[in-house]
Each structure stands twice: as C-alpha cells, then as structure tokens.
Amino acid sequence: MFSADELRRFLRYGFGDEVILALPGANVPPVQLVEAACELLERRQLVDARFFAALCAERPRRSAEIQAVAAEWSQPKPYAWTSPEQLSRLHLEALSTRRDHTISARFLVRGAEAAKSVAKVLVHRHFGDKPRYQADESPEVSTGTGWLIAPNLGITNHHVIAARQDGETITATDFALQARGTVLQFDYLAPDAPFESVGVLEVVAADAELDFALLRLGPVDRPPLRLRVRPLERTRDTPLAECVNVLQHPDGEPMRIGLRNNFVVHGDSHWLSYLTDTRSGASGSPVCDDEWGVVALHRGHRELPGATIKLDGVAVRTENYGVQLRAVLEWTRLHAPAIHAEIEAAQATAPR
C-alpha cells in the first residue's frame, strides 16, 4: 500500500514528528518498518476511526479493503477480560505444558556472578615466529571465549590459541608466542562498556585432542567458576530434559548468553552435545548447568547423527558440543599433576 518513504510521510502528516522519531532508521527492511509502525501506533492507542479514515483518504481505491480491516479491528479482542462473567472464568495460574519450567530466581543472581569470570579472548596471530599485521598495521587477531578455572588460571580451546584457518598449520613456537600475546577482556558486556584486560604469561598445559589450553594469567581479582562434580551423561534415545547455558563472546561481540531451547542431547565420559545456540567466537565458552556449575568446555558444532530433533516445529539438524570438564581434569591428573592440584584446591573452596 505504501513505500517506506510514503509510509513515513503519511505518519508525519497524521501524527507528527514524535512518531517518526520513534521508528527504526532508514536502512531497515520495509517489512520491519511496517511492523514497528503498527506496534507503535497500537501502543499509543492511535489506531482508531480517525486513523482508518485517513488511510481511506490517502488510498481511496483501496477503501473497501481498509474498511474491512477497520470493521475487524473494532471487534472485541480475545482475552479482553472486561465483564464480571468473563473474569469469573479466569483461572489464577496454569502449567501450559503440564510441566513446571520455572526455576529459582537465584539462577539470575548466580549467572550474573558467573559472567564476571568469563572473558573475550584476543589472539595475535604469528607465522614463522613473526607477528602478523593487517594493511593498516593493526595486529591480525582471532577471537574466542575463555574463563577462570582457578585464581590467575584461565582456560579456552586449544584451537582458539592456535588461531589457524583450514589449511593453515602452526608450529610449537608460534603457538607459544600466540599464547603469550593473548589478552583476556573481562566485563566486555557492551560496545561502550569499560572492561579489564589481562595478559597471558604462558601456556601451562594444553592438548589438541581434547581441545583445551590452560593459561597462566597476570594478576586478576576474580573468582574462578565452579565446576560441576559429576559429568552430565545421557543417551540419545532418552527424552530431552537437562539444560545447559553458554556464556559467550560470539564473533568477538559483547557477551551473550545462550539459554533458549538449550537441551542436552548426549553426554558420555568425554563429550557433551547440546542444542544451546552459539556462534563463531564462542569456542572456549563455559557450558553450565542451571546452578552455574561448568559441565563442559564448548568446542564447536556438528551434524546430528540419525534422526533430526524438532524444537518449536523446526527440524534441528546440528548440535553444539564440548569436552566434559571431568575429562580435562583427568588429563591434568595424569600429565600435569601440579596444575591439577591447583585446580582442585581452588574448587575445594568454591561456593556450592
């Protein structure tokens, strides 16, 4: 009925600049502009007989369509509980799916505390023992996510520190140089928010197969995340029940949290797979249960084996996955006992 410019002009003449200024900018798709305009007018109670009359005057050839919409709009809205008879039929509460999906409000408090120990990871790429720079002479960096597993000890993926794309290889020297040039940014919650940068001193343990790297950090006054004591194990043929939440810095952006449709799909002694949303840059994120105990170290995604899973009517064909933290601890027990003891000592005093 209107182009984007015509719609803005119609609204300006009919309702003034105040309405125009509340709309999204000029670059939004037309459909999004129309949806925003409808929501705004309805919220301000401006969709009335005068509004439809103005539409008819603006588009007289479509008056019949407009009047039909106006007639439908004037009908009582569903669930507009206005009469005593209607109110008498209103039940005070219900479990819409016959299962209680509420959780303790402590979830929010503990989640906010956990976020303080999660950081954006920036790795300065090296090739042939030399740091690489972009055309504008800024460092060529790769990003990921990391977090504190013990005081001044961070953890992320091995591939985050390796910072290589398909077909690129890395030497042990470049890996060590990239680790020492890595910076963790804590409290990066918004583009203009102040954050704390902490440098990496060295890699103290790493394994490419389990895809983890433990990093000795400079001084940082933040508590480590609490590790879940038992691995979260389940088979693929059981109904979806357990959920996990992922604090992450996707694409190097301010921290986001994946907590919708976040069911665990499969878990064994080494790996955990789940449907929680992540994006590139989330590698190294803590995968937490609803008590914010870390279950796994997020690694990536893969195709779902066997049948797809349906969520909200959409067929899901991929799952995210990570390494169980208990597998990482078992590796450190065997190959880095001093680091293992350091982590265990920190976890012994972590609040439960």
Q: What is d(CA 258, CA 245) in angstroms, rounded to the nearest whole number? A: 6
Q: What is the pLDDT of residue 97?
A: 55
Q: What is the pLDDT of residue 83?
A: 61
Under 8 Å between Cβ of 24 and 32: yes
Give helix 325-335 / helix 337-348 axis angle, nearest 10°: 130
Domain residue extents for the chain: 4-73, 112-217, 245-334+343-347
pTM listed for this prediction: 0.72
Q: What is d(CA 201, CA 167) in angstroms, rounded to the nearest whole number? A: 28
DSSP string, 213-245: EEEEES----PPPPBPSS---B-TTSPP--B-E
Q: What is d(CA 352, CA 349) in angstroms, rounded to the nearest whole number? A: 9
Q: What is the pLDDT of residue 277?
A: 84
Under 8 Å between Cβ of 320 and 244: no
Q: In CATH terms, are 112-217 and 245-334+343-347 the same topology? A: yes
Q: Residue-wise pLDDT tens for the chain (352 aa)? A: 678 788 888 888 788 877 777 788 777 777 777 788 888 888 788 888 888 888 888 888 888 888 888 888 777 665 555 566 666 666 656 565 556 678 888 999 999 999 999 999 999 999 999 999 999 999 999 999 999 999 999 999 999 999 999 899 999 999 999 999 999 999 999 999 899 999 999 999 999 999 999 999 999 999 999 999 988 888 888 888 889 999 999 999 999 999 888 889 889 899 998 988 888 889 999 999 999 999 999 999 888 777 677 776 677 888 889 999 999 999 999 999 999 999 999 999 887 7
Tell me the CATH class for 245-334+343-347: mainly beta
The secondary structure of 58-83, three-state, reads HCHHHHHHHHHHHHHHCCCCCCCCCC
Q: What is the pLDDT of residue 284?
A: 97
Question: Looking at the domain 112-217, which fold is it?
Answer: Thrombin, subunit H (2.40.10)
Residue positions counted in the chain = 352
